[in-house]
Amino acid sequence: MTFREFLSDRTGRIILELCILAMSVCLLSVTGTQPDILLLLFVFLAFIRITVLLIDFFTLRSHLAQLEHIMANLPQKYLFTECAPPPKTIYERRLFALMRRSCKSMTEAVSDAEAARREYRETVESWVHEIKSPITAAKLICHGIEPEPRRRLAQELFQIEAHVERALFYARTENPEKDFIIQQYNLDDIVAEAIETYGTLLMQSNIRVETGNLHYQIYTDRKWTCFILGQLLQNAARYKNEQSAFAHDSLIHDTSVIIVSAEPSDKDRLKLTVSDNGIGIPAHELPRVFDRGFTGSNGRARGGSTGMGLYLCHKLSDFLGLAIQITSVEGEGTSVTLSFLTKM
């Protein structure tokens, strides 16, 4: 707080005191008080008032600085009223009591909201684990029916399972620190696991996957990284372009293809790139692809898009400390790059 701010807050009181002082001087002059005595009295009273103002200013500024220091070093800001020094005047004590009641009410509301969110997360996780049993049973039943209906039913069951998996990871993002463990893994093992998990979908979509230069050690959470790669593979399958061609190593492939490759970016980082030759993303939609619920023109045209896949990829990447970037050319394909730590 500056001295100018302090004076502006007391402008009305100062003007009133000056008016009272002027009226007192006028009254004394009417009664015959000598001018020298009036001047001396005016200077004396003005000096006393200025001294009181200065004492009030420095006292108040010191008190505010103490409160700001407490607030700055308090991890839980809502506990400020419990840690602040007790007020001195009756007005301040009454005001402080109202602030405490308000903070207590807010804390109770936040606690209720946290409990409700925790209960919702636990319910979703329980539902996900329960729904996996009938999905597995349905897959086993598929083996006893004709090949074509079996293929179509298996594809739909896979989509159901993918949606369930997204719901589970979305629920877990509320408390991510309780669900992942950063360890050292072989990058090629993680990529192979993701491709194997979504191999049926890629085969049914007639998409070939090419991998290269993946023999690196990275620090990450295996389960979360597999999920992120799975979302990228599903997107490539959903938005494939039957008529496109993809150039790689001077060869042109007339089929849908995904290329997964890695290269060191610096001494402690490794870039993993997942590229496809699909329909691509319009340039004006690229800044929004990581937004929650954003489907884009391609998603609306093909249907079935929830707008949660890339959103979860971005959110989980942030939790894992990965940098994720996406580039795309409409009609040619899309590339997503993940940056992993190779040293801790």
pTM of the complete model beyond 0.85: no
pLDDT at position 77 over 90: no
- Which of 103-117, 238-252, 319-333 is the most confident on average? 319-333
**Coil, strand, or helix at residue 261?**
strand
Query: For 134, phi and psi rounded to 5 degrees?
Result: -65, -30
Which amino acid is it at 270? L
Distance CA 202, CA 215 (A): 23
Q: Say which range, 2-6, 216-220, 276-280, 302-306, has the weakest mean pLDDT.
A: 302-306
pLDDT of 246 over the 50 cut: no
Report the phi/psi class of residue 282: left, alpha or beta, with left for phi > 0 and alpha for psi in -120 to 50. beta
Three-state secondary structure call for residue 319:
helix
Both tokens of 204, joined, read: 């049914």
* Residue 176 pLDDT level (bands cut at 50, 70, 90): low
More confident residue, 144 or 17: 17
- Which among 98, 324, 336 is positioned nearest to 220, based on CA atoms? 324
pLDDT over 70 (residue 242): no
Which helix H or strand E contains 338, and what residues bound it?
A: strand 333-341
pLDDT digits (tens, 9 = 90+) for 188-219: 999 999 999 888 888 888 889 999 889 999 99
Q: What length is written for the chain?
A: 344
pLDDT digits (tens, 9 = 90+) for 107-158: 888 888 888 877 877 777 777 778 877 877 887 887 777 777 877 787 778 7
- The CA-based angle 313-316-322, given to 5 degrees, is 90
**Which of 42 and 335 is assigned the larger pLDDT?**
335
Looking at per-residue pLDDT, the higher value among 334 and 164 belongs to 334
The maximal CA–CA distance of the chain, rounded, in angstroms, is 122
Is the model's pLDDT at 297 over the cut of 60?
A: yes
- C-beta of residue 308 within 8 angstroms of C-beta of residue 235: no
pLDDT for 228: 92
Q: Are 259 and 237 in contact (CB under 8 A)?
A: no
DSSP code for 221: -
Name all domains of the chain by residue range, CATH numbers in brackets. Answer: 3-105 (no CATH), 180-341 (3.30.565.10)
In this prediction, what percent of the chain has a pLDDT beyond 90?
16
Contact assessment for residue 225 and residue 188, using Cβ atoms and an 8 Å cutoff = no
For residues 51-67, give the mean pLDDT.
87
Instruction: Provide the 3-class DSSP secondary structure of residue 158.
Output: helix
Task: For the chain, give the mean pLDDT.
Answer: 83
pLDDT band at 340 (very low <50, low <70, confident <90, very high): very high
